Structure 1
Amino acid sequence: MEKTLILPKILLLSIFTISVNSEYYSKTQQFSRLQEKTTHLHFYLHDTLSGKNPTAIPIASPNSTNSKKDDPVPFGTLVAIDDPLTQGPELTSKLVGNARGMYLSSSQDKFLTLVMYVDLGFNTGKFKGSSLSVFSRNPITEKHRELAVVGGRGRFRMARGFIEVNTYYLNTTNGDAILEYNVTVVHP
């Protein structure tokens, strides 16, 4: 009988003797007071769905008979992008980086809206090797709109801010677009 009580006693004793560090966080410490800067950037994004060298490729499309045949990005379409970012609106102007990520066509009405998950990477100048992370709704039929900057890498680590987007050019037949980006970002 005493043998059957030994196991529960051992288990009970082990609960009290095991040192456990089960916290999912460490002690909160004062973050050094970094001088935050506000940086303004201006460039153009070239989103090309047509031609021999598209920079935006549909990777998933809805299996629906309701989608309009003339819509270049019907509701539910997921598009992967590697769009060039240039200093001016011409594709031949100085390349400053690229926008890599994806967007999802997320509206069922006539006003095309995308949800964007994009990394704006810079490959020249003061911000070479840095990037901004954008995760935002983009109602592209509106000439002026705003996107959220939710983070970044490199010199833009811990960035936050917004992008004012103006449609410089839009081909509603094939979906090609040139977008003017005016970025305001706060970062350490």
Structure 2
Amino acid sequence: MAKLVSSIFIPLATVFAFFFSSSLAAVETKRFSSNLSPASLGLREEKLSHLHFYFHDILSGPKPTAVRVAEAPVTNTSSTAFGAVVMIDDLLTLGPDPDSKPVGRAQGIYASASQGEAGLLMAMNFAFTEGKYNGSTLSVLGRNKVFDAVREIAIIGGSGAFRFARGYAQAKTHTLDLKTGNAIVEYSAYVFHY
């Protein structure tokens, strides 16, 4: 009987040792992070690009491109509409005329984030549909003091031709209808990318 137990135990111990060492080897080969060369991702020399376009934020009419999706209990009594959250899918064009050549869409949200002045938190993607940037995006996040002549908003990333993008965008109000809230905003974006 002892011989039978030892003959069963030895193969089981060998099998257990094999699986235990295999699982340790698998754990050792997986890493959380590693250093890469930019060339391994096809990245070449970094360049600086300037993009210029117009943003059409339409809140009124039969086809608004900006829609309020949330508000706070104080929003409608606040002088700054504090707490209002607006979802956007705004047209980007080459010129200020809404019928000028489309170059993309601004998609994301802006929210009234200031109780004392017209200040928006902007979180959006510029999704381009024209030329060599067709299918690429720039991600923008920052503060927009609406009544300042020029506002600067950070470009924090991108996709496609704008992978690893960083930079800033300057916004200038071209036209604003205070009755409807409709606005056309001129954007100049300065972007480092590969």
Q: Provide the TM-score with structure 1 as the length reference.
A: 0.83
Is 1:113 matched with 2:119?
A: yes
Equivalent residue for 2:52, pick from 42, 46, 49: 42
Distance 1:122 1:29, change over 3 A: closer
Equivalent residue for 1:184, pick from 167, 185, 190: 190
C-alpha deviations, 1:45-81, integer Å up to 9, x for none? Answer: 000111111110000011227724xx6x710011000
Equivalent residue for 2:145, pick from 139, 146, 153: 139
Quick check: which has more Rg, 1 or 2?
2
Equivalent residue for 2:111, pick from 104, 111, 116: 104
- One-letter code aligned to 2:149: K
Aligned residue for 2:77, secondary structure, equals coil
Distance 1:22 1:57, change over 3 A: farther
Distance 1:102 1:22, change over 3 A: farther
Tell me if structure 1 keeps the 8 A contact 2:48–2:192.
Answer: yes
- One-letter code aligned to 1:161: G
Distance 1:140 1:24, change over 3 A: farther
Give aligned pairs, total. Answer: 172
- One-letter code aligned to 1:78: V
Is 1:54 matched with 2:72?
A: no
- Counterparts of 1:67 and 1:154, CA distance in 2: 43
Tell me if structure 1 keeps the 8 A contact 2:165–2:193.
Answer: yes
Instruction: Mark the runs of 5 or more structure 2 residues left unpaired by the alignment.
Output: 1-16
- One-letter code aligned to 1:35: E
Aligned residue for 2:38, secondary structure, equals coil
Is 1:89 matched with 2:99?
A: no
- Counterparts of 1:65 and 1:88, CA distance in 2: 33
Q: Provide the TM-score with structure 2 as the length reference.
A: 0.80
Aligned residue for 1:155, secondary structure, equals helix
Partner of 2:9: none
* Percent identity for Structure 1 against Structure 2: 43
- One-letter code aligned to 2:58: T
Distance 1:138 1:22, change over 3 A: farther
- Counterparts of 2:188 and 2:93, CA distance in 1: 12
- Counterparts of 1:90 and 1:41, CA distance in 2: 17
- Counterparts of 1:27 and 1:92, CA distance in 2: 49
Partner of 2:180: 174
Equivalent residue for 1:63, pick from 43, 48, 73: 73
- The alpha-carbon deviation at position 25 of structure 1 amounts to 2.0
Is 1:77 matched with 2:87?
A: no
- The alpha-carbon deviation at position 34 of structure 1 amounts to 2.5
